[in-house]
């Protein structure tokens, strides 16, 4: 195992000094290779994409905010190709090693940022989360991982993948660092810690692997569940179809010109882009209406002061490497669980509060749209009750 766990983009390590003092003084951070860092190429985890890019003349807004707040950037990190994976594999640049469970996948697509933070190589990690690309590696590597309300954190200088779902998210080992980093990205003040009502999504827990359900439910119980609810209404497969269809059509709009250049992709990635290319755009209005109705329902379910608990992933990280029927089962369950936040644009934090056979299991906490500050405050308040 290398000293850097394979987390960093090959070549000289990118570095930027803080540009001012602030709440992140003394902290270090890493940046996923979908996010611009001045003086470097944003390679997107793919050699042909890399070959078509110029050196970034400015850093993304999110990078600038961290630097201005006193943090030091200590490297760019490996991503799954163009963000189209939840596994953490990269056929071209290597698969980062999960520090908590080295024989298992790190999770993706923000694999390198998660691994760097989990290994103690940085205090904070910037990633992107479209369908779970921060939350899944955070769950697999035993980290706190935050996906913000869609649209609240600027995407300027971030490579688009599926823009109606794309967010910049954050990894941290501690709630205090997650809070400080999150408020810096939001350019917001901390919220007061208030009493909350916790709902448990019973039908989401059924999607977890049988052996994972007990430790996840035990973690939820420690937080204090007020009631159990069903969030899928007996129609869980629709969430997978809605997400994969709308994401795929978004992908084609954002990356279609690049795909037309016949780029090289790894064996597991190429079929995903072909699947996106094969989608019928005429179904988009139907699924957009479906998505809008879901957003209305979730706003009603999650007024300020109410949070929803569900598994982040169906289980612990799968063994390296995931193929065939095992991959299909993992993706269907993982995307069904993770799609709720993306489809409804909700903020969510995955908490490293459970383990199974020595490997981490994440428990997700969703809030209503725009409730990021309150959600981050809740995470800091429960840390003493349920330490990671």
Catalytic residues: 32, 109, 133
Lookup: tokens for 137: 């590696």
Lookup: tokens for 44: 């997107």
Decide if 78 contacts 111 (C-beta within 8 A). yes
CB atoms within 10 A of CB 152: 18
Look at strands 227-229 and 197-201 and give their pairing: parallel
Phi–psi pair at 260, nearest 5 degrees: -70, -15
Contacts of 274 (CB under 8 A, 6+ apart): none
d(CA 25, CA 39): 23
Q: Which of 285, 282, 265 is nearest to 273 (CA)?
A: 265
In whole angstroms, how far apart are CA 155 and each of 34, 152, 169, 249, 253?
Answer: 11, 9, 11, 19, 17
User: 104 has which bridge partners?
Assistant: 319
Sign of CA dihedral 366, 317, 329, 211: negative
């Amino acid at each position: 195992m290398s000293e850097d766990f394979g987390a960093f983009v090959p070549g000289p390590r990118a570095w930027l000094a803080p540009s001012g003092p602030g709440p992140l003084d003394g902290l270090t951070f890493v940046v996923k290779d979908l996010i611009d860092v001045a003086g470097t190429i944003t390679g997107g985890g793919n050699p042909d994409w890399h070959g078509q890019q110029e050196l970034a003349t400015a850093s993304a807004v999110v990078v600038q905010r961290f630097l201005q707040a006193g943090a030091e950037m200590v490297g760019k990190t490996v991503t799954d190709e163009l963000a189209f994976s939840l596994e953490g594999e990269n056929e071209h640049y290597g698969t980062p090693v999960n520090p908590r469970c080295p024989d298992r996948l790190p999770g993706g697509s923000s694999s390198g940022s998660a691994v760097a933070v989990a290994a103690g190589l940085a205090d904070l990690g910037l990633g992107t989360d479209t369908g779970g690309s921060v939350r899944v590696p955070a769950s697999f590597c035993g980290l706190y991982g935050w996906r913000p309300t869609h649209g609240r954190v600027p995407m300027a200088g971030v490579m688009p993948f599926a823009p109606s779902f794309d967010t910049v998210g954050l990894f941290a080992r501690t709630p205090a660092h997650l809070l400080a980093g999150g408020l810096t990205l939001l350019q917001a003040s901390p919220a007061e810690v208030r009493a909350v009502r916790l709902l448990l999504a019973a039908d989401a827990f059924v999607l977890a692997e049988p052996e994972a359900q007990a430790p996840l439910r035990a973690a939820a119980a420690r937080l204090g569940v007020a009631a159990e609810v069903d969030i899928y209404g007996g129609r869980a497969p629709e969430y997978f179809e809605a997400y994969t269809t709308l994401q795929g059509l978004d992908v084609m709009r954002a990356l279609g010109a690049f795909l037309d250049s016949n780029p090289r992709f790894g064996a597991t990635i190429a079929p995903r882009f072909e699947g996106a290319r094969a989608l019928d755009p005429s179904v988009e209005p139907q699924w957009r209406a479906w998505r809008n109705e879901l957003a209305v329902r979730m706003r009603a379910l999650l007024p300020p002061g109410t949070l929803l608990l569900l598994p982040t992933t169906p289980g612990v990280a799968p063994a390296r490497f995931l193929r065939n029927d095992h991959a299909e089962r993992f993706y269907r369950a993982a995307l069904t669980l993770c799609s709720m936040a993306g489809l409804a644009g909700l903020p969510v934090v995955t908490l490293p509060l459970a383990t199974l056979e020595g490997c981490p299991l994440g428990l997700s906490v969703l809030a209503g749209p725009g409730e990021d500050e309150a959600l981050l405050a809740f995470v800091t308040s429960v840390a003493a009750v349920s330490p990671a």
